[in-house]
């Protein structure tokens, strides 16, 4: 675990000094991919969608990267946007392309470490080296490394190039989707990390209580409806799913989010199973990478690196 400082890699754990709270850094690359190469919704610099031009870099362990893999498969972009996948273990050198089952090497520069791609895109940069990221092979740089934006780009950018017509962020539902996303991001997606990486009892409890309040609230919504918004699959469901599917396997134990399991919530459990059955989604879920990543990458939380055998029942 580490970051780039003035273009040089430094091995450094998250800084929670002071109040013991984990704070996620803002993503640093925010250009936009669009059908015509025009600017993004807030005027971001545009890159034109073309078959094979962009490469998506993911970790199968990572819930943020997982969002992008799901939208990629649901939109039928597998041949249009190829993928590289890092090794599950993230230690002294951060994400690596060390050879192992499931790893898909980097063809752009034959990188061994993900930080080499960041330093190539922005020489001298200071910041964390995260997945997912979208690489533009034509301009040899990173387009974007913020998953919530990459899924919005994938949702429409390839519609004229053979993508499936589904729309996961329809105009009429945006207000409701945004409202759900805000709460789910704060209390659930990022909430599990705020619990797991907290270094004081108070910071941990401050994350765990709203996490379970929000899971209770989601349980009641999903007991009444199959999907979170508008009786149809939207990005709000995809964003919730990637945390729920990891919950009982890692967040419950490793991150101490153990007031309840997802298996104890009938509607959340059924929702997760339903998401798994969507065409192509099961193939995006790699429990081996998920479990080994968390238990092997965080020595301050799990010094032995032992990966628990359970839970027996998965989806
Ligand atoms: N805002 C980013 C967050 C991505 C992120 O934090 N990814 C984690 C893996 S799950 C990572 O690469 N962490 C490396 C680090 O923090 O140094 C997104 O949603 O795309």
pLDDT at 315 over 90: no
pTM of the model: 0.98
Write the DSSP symbol of residue 195.
H
User: 45-52: long-range contacts (C-beta < 8 A, 24 or more apart)?
Assistant: 47/136, 47/139, 47/143, 49/80, 49/157, 49/158, 49/161, 50/138, 50/161, 51/79, 51/80, 51/161, 52/79, 52/80, 52/82, 52/137
Q: Is there a single domain that holds both residue 229 and residue 99?
A: no
Q: Which atom of ligand 1 is nearest to the CA of 90?
A: 14
109 inside domain: yes
Give me the DSSP letters along 53-88.
Answer: TEEEEE-TT-HHHHHHHHHHHHTT-TTTS-EEE--S
- Decide whether any atom of ligand 1 lies within 6 Å of the 133 Cβ: no
Confidence at 24, pLDDT banded by 50, 70, 90: confident
pLDDT at 15 over 90: no
Q: Is there a single domain that holds both residue 112 and residue 134?
A: yes
Secondary structure, 3-state, 20-43: CCCCCCCCCCECEEECCCCCCCCC
What proportion of the chain, given as a percentage, has pLDDT over 70?
100
Instruction: From 107, 126, 161, give the residue that closes a domain.
Output: 161
Ligand 1 centroid–CA 231 distance in Å is 30
The residue annotated as part of the active site, out of 60, 118, 193, 204, is 193
What is the per-residue pLDDT across 139-197, written as a single tens digit (0 to 9) for each?
A: 999 999 999 999 999 999 999 999 999 999 999 999 999 999 999 999 999 999 999 99
- Decide whether any atom of ligand 1 lies within 6 Å of the 146 Cβ: yes
Q: Is there a single domain that holds both residue 191 and residue 46?
A: no
Mutation choice for ligand 1 from 130, 134, 192, CB with most ligand atoms inside 8 A: 130
Q: Quick one: pLDDT at residue 194?
A: 98
Instruction: From 131, 161, 191, give the residue that closes a domain.
Output: 161
- Quick one: average pLDDT of 221-237? 97
pLDDT at 313 over 80: no
pLDDT at 254 over 80: yes
Q: Quick one: pLDDT at residue 292?
A: 98
Catalytic-residue membership of 169: no
245 inside domain: yes
Q: Is there a single domain that holds both residue 47 and residue 90?
A: yes
Number of domains in the chain: 2
Which residue has the CA at smallest separation from atom 5 of ligand 1?
Answer: 130
Q: Is there a single domain that holds both residue 93 and residue 232?
A: no
293 inside domain: no
Q: Quick one: pLDDT at residue 133?
A: 98
Q: Is there a single domain that holds both residue 68 and residue 88?
A: yes
- Decide whether any atom of ligand 1 lies within 6 Å of the 134 Cβ: no
Q: Quick one: pLDDT at residue 18?
A: 87
What is the per-residue pLDDT across 291-312, written as a single tens digit (0 to 9) for each?
A: 999 999 999 999 999 999 999 8
- Quick one: average pLDDT of 60-71? 98
pLDDT at 210 over 90: yes
Q: Is there a single domain that holds both residue 62 and residue 153?
A: yes
166 inside domain: no
Q: Quick one: pLDDT at residue 314?
A: 80
Which residue has the CA at smallest separation from atom 19 of ligand 1?
Answer: 147
pLDDT at 25 over 90: no
- Decide whether any atom of ligand 1 lies within 6 Å of the 147 Cβ: yes
pLDDT at 14 over 90: no
> Cβ–Cβ contacts within 10 Å for residue 165, how many?
7
Q: What is the mean pLDDT of the chain?
A: 97
Ligand 1 centroid–CA 260 distance in Å is 26
Q: Is there a single domain that holds both residue 145 and residue 202?
A: no
Domain CATH for 175: 1.20.1050.10
Q: Is there a single domain that holds both residue 24 and residue 89?
A: yes
147 inside domain: yes
Q: Quick one: pLDDT at residue 184?
A: 98
Q: Residues annotated in the binding site for glutathione, as ranges? A: 95, 128-131, 146-147
Domain CATH for 146: 3.40.30.10
Q: Is there a single domain that holds both residue 188 and residue 77?
A: no
Return all residues near 24 (Cβ < 8 A) that are at least 6 apart.
190, 193
Range of the domain at 272: 171-278
What is the per-residue pLDDT across 261-295, written as a single tens digit (0 to 9) for each?
A: 999 999 999 999 999 999 999 999 999 999 999 99
Q: Quick one: pLDDT at residue 13?
A: 85
Q: Is there a single domain that holds both residue 157 and residue 175?
A: no
Catalytic-residue membership of 295: no
Q: Is there a single domain that holds both residue 146 and residue 14?
A: yes
Q: Quick one: pLDDT at residue 256?
A: 98
What proportion of the chain, given as a percentage, has pLDDT over 90?
95
- Decide whether any atom of ligand 1 lies within 6 Å of the 132 Cβ: yes
Q: Where are the alpha helices (DSSP H) in the chain?
A: 63-74, 114-121, 147-156, 174-184, 191-196, 201-224, 235-246, 266-276, 287-297
311 inside domain: no
Ligand 1 centroid–CA 94 distance in Å is 11
267 inside domain: yes
189 inside domain: yes
Ligand 1 centroid–CA 24 distance in Å is 8
Ligand 1 centroid–CA 182 distance in Å is 18
């Amino acid at each position: 675990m580490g970051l780039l400082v003035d273009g040089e890699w430094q091995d450094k754990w998250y800084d929670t000094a002071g109040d013991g709270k984990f704070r996620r850094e803002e993503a640093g690359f925010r250009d936009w991919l669009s059908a015509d190469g025009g600017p993004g919704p807030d005027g971001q610099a545009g890159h034109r969608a073309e078959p094979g031009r962009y490469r998506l870099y993911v970790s199968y362990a990572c819930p943020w990267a997982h969002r992008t893999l799901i939208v990629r498969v649901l939109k039928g972009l597998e041949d249009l946007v190829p993928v590289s996948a890092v090794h599950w273990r993230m230690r002294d050198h951060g994400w690596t392309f060390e050879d192992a089952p499931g790893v898909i090497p980097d063809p752009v520069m034959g990188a061994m470490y993900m930080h080499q791609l960041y330093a190539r895109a922005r020489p001298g940069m200071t910041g964390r080296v995260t997945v997912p990221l979208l690489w533009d092979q034509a301009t040899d740089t990173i387009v974007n490394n913020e998953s919530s934006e990459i899924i919005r780009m994938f949702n429409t950018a390839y519609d004229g190039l053979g993508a499936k017509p589904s729309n996961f962020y329809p105009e009429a539902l945006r207000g409701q989707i945004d409202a759900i996303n805000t709460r789910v991001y704060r209390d659930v997606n990022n909430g599990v990390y705020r619990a797991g990486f907290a270094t004081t009892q108070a910071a941990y409890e401050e994350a765990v209580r709203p996490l379970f309040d929000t899971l209770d609230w989601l349980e009641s919504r999903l007991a009444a409806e199959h999907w979170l918004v508008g009786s149809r699959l939207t990005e709000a469901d995809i964003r919730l799913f990637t945390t729920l599917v990891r919950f009982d396997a890692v967040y419950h134990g490793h991150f101490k989010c153990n007031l309840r399991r997802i298996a104890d919530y009938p509607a959340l459990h059924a929702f997760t199973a339903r998401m798994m059955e969507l065409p192509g989604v099961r193939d995006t879920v790699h429990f081996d990478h998920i479990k080994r990543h968390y238990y092997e990458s965080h020595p301050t939380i799990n010094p032995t690196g032992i990966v628990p055998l359970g839970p027996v029942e998965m989806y």
